[in-house]
């Protein structure tokens, strides 16, 4: 039975067993939950399908959140990606998928919280892009989510996944770390390389605050999901190239928790600081939640 107390232990167990992290996690969870592996695989496959559906729904150019703060950007990015842009079609399509899934969430659509609703665009933005590019099979994409889940369980056990407790580093940072580890496995990397990718992703988002404008998971949350995808992709590429993190993943997780505890309350999902406290942020909050009647309609 795995205890998910450290990334190092998770990788050690996988390498000792001569298997991937995903296979280790699937086998362990089947044993702990007393379920057939195929049943758990099917459940994870359904989650991947929901990710695909959330991206598709978020690509609707007419989609808007109730607040009016978000919607339509996924469609804009998808159109732009067709031109190649600066970074090329793959990266821009990844950005489009990330925006779409996050906008689907803001519009109260069905998403997969991975690990949270506020960071729901990062895993779809990475895993689905690799799948769409033909760089992995459907089965490999599903299995990679077990890798992401295993890393997520360590993060949740040893630190936090909540923006209210640890800032956005605990949400988008954790999601990027999970995605980076999963990407490495998808591209044939070792468990140790997945651990290095996890560490590099997490430390590059260390200290990220949670300052939602008007207290809504839209601004700047949605575009921070895009930053998380870029960090995850670059961390995975570095790890696959043989680059190692000087600070081990578990120490990065510990540092993340300590940094989160040191953040002032104003920067932990209260909408009292950061971008939420800017003049525009305050204006938007008043516009969205104003109880004053509209002078034009009297309502």
Average pLDDT over residues 83-94: 97
Average pLDDT over residues 55-62: 98
Q: What is the pLDDT of residue 1?
A: 81
pLDDT per residue over 15-49, tens digit each? Answer: 999 999 999 999 999 999 999 999 999 999 999 99
Answer with the residue of higher pLDDT: 120 or 290: 120
Q: Strands (DSSP E) along 23-120, which ranges?
A: none
| H helix count then E strand count, the chain | 14, 0
Average pLDDT over residues 6-19: 97
The pLDDT confidence band at residue 123, using thresholds 50, 70 and 90, is very high
- For 139, how many CA atoms within 13 A lie in the half-sphere containing its CB? 2
With a cut of 50, say whether residue 297 has pLDDT above it: no
Closest Cα to residue 249, out of 159, 146, 143, 116? 159
The pLDDT confidence band at residue 299, using thresholds 50, 70 and 90, is very low
- What is the residue-wise DSSP string for 137-202? -HHHHHHHHHHHHHHHHHHHHHS---HHHH-GGGTHHHHHHHHHHHHHHHTT--HHHHHHHHHHHH
248 touches 208 (CB < 8 A): no
Average pLDDT over residues 198-216: 98
Instruction: Give the list of residues 6+ apart from residue 165 with CB closer than 8 angstroms, or none.
Output: 260, 268
Average pLDDT, the chain: 96
Please state, in angstroms and rounded to a whole number, the distance separating the CA atoms of residues 26 and 234. 27
- pTM, two decimals, is 0.96
The pLDDT confidence band at residue 291, using thresholds 50, 70 and 90, is low
pLDDT per residue over 126-151, tens digit each? Answer: 999 999 999 999 999 999 999 999 99
């Amino acid at each position: 039975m795995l205890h998910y107390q450290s990334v190092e232990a998770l990788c050690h167990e996988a390498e000792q067993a001569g298997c991937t992290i995903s296979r280790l996690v699937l086998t362990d969870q089947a044993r702990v939950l007393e379920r057939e592996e195929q049943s758990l695989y099917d459940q994870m496959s359904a989650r991947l399908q929901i990710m695909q559906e959330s991206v598709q729904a978020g690509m609707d150019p007419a989609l808007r959140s109730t607040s009016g703060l978000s919607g339509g950007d996924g469609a804009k990015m998808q159109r732009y990606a067709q031109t190649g842009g600066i970074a090329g079609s793959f990266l821009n399509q990844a950005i489009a998928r990330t925006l779409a899934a996050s906008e689907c969430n803001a519009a109260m659509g069905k998403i997969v919280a991975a690990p949270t609703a506020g960071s729901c665009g990062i895993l779809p933005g990475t895993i689905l892009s690799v799948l769409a590019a033909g760089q992995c099979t459907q089965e490999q994409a599903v299995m990679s989510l077990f890798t992401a889940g295993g890393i997520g369980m360590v993060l949740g056990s040893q630190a936090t996944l909540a923006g209210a407790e640890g800032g956005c580093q605990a949400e988008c940072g954790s999601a990027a770390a999970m995605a980076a580890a999963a990407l490495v496995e998808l591209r044939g990397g070792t468990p140790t390389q997945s651990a290095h990718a996890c560490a590099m992703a997490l430390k590059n988002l260390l200290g990220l605050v949670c300052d939602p404008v008007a207290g809504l998971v839209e601004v700047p949350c949605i575009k921070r999901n895009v930053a998380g995808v870029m960090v995850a992709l670059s961390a995975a590429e570095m790890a696959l190239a043989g680059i190692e993190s000087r600070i081990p993943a578990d120490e990065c997780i510990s540092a993340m928790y300590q940094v989160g505890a040191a953040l002032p309350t104003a920067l932990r999902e209260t909408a009292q600081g950061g971008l939420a406290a800017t003049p525009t942020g305050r204006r938007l909050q008043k516009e969205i939640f104003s109880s004053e009647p509209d002078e034009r309609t009297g309502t």
